């Protein structure tokens, strides 16, 4: 069975601090996909990034970066120089190799960035 664990329920930082959101996953699939979604207070789910299990390269997009380590089954997300607009719930998710595979979500980490 697939499982995603986000151990940090809530994180509170002050603006401009760096913050890392942890994600640990479990799967028996050899090919799988990892995702991060952002859910701001307005409630919608916004896609941030997708990674497949064969691509362990870290990725940077502006202030966001992702660290994928298969050895520890982790896919962590770092926000550099956080801003108030980053305040949201962040979900890590996993899907398998099938064409219609469902997303299995973690419980989410609520990030609050204070001015």
Phi and psi angles of residue 28, each rounded to the nearest 5 degrees, phi first = -100, -10
Interface pick for another protein out of 86, 105, 111, 112 (rule CB under 8 A): 105
Q: Could you tell me what percentage of the chain is helix, strand and coil, using 3-state DSSP and rounding each to the nearest 5? A: 5, 50, 45
**Binds another protein by CB under 8 A, chosen from 19, 75, 91, 113:** 91
Q: Where are the beta strands (DSSP E) in the chain?
A: 3-5, 10-14, 19-21, 24-26, 33-39, 46-52, 59-61, 64-69, 74-79, 88-95, 104-105, 109-114
> Which is closer to another protein, CB of 24 or CB of 103?
103
Stretch that binds another protein, among 18-26, 57-65, 68-76, 105-113 (CB under 8 A): 105-113
Cβ-based nearer residue to another protein, 43 or 115: 43
Q: Kind of pairing, strands 10-14 and 109-114?
A: parallel
Subset of 26-85 contacting another protein (CB under 8 A): 31-33, 35, 37, 43-47, 50, 52
What is the closest distance, in whole angstroms, from the C-beta atom of residue 18 to another protein in the complex? 25
Residue with tokens 């390269």: 57
Q: Which of 86, 95, 111, 113 binds another protein (CB under 8 A)?
A: 95
Residues that bind another protein (CB under 8 A): 31-33, 35, 37, 43-47, 50, 52, 91, 93, 95-108
């Amino acid at each position: 069975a697939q499982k995603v664990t986000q151990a940090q329920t809530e994180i509170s930082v002050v603006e401009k601090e760096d913050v890392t959101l942890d994600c640990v996953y479990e799967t028996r699939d050899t090919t799988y996909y990892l995702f991060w979604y952002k859910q701001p207070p307005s409630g919608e789910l916004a896609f941030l990034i997708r990674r497949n299990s064969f691509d362990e390269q870290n990725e940077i997009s502006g202030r966001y970066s992702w660290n994928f380590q298969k050895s520890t089954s982790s896919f962590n997300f770092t926000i550099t120089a956080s801003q108030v607009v980053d305040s949201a719930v962040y979900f890590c998710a996993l899907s398998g190799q099938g064409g219609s595979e469902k997303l299995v979500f973690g419980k989410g980490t609520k990030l609050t960035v204070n001015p």
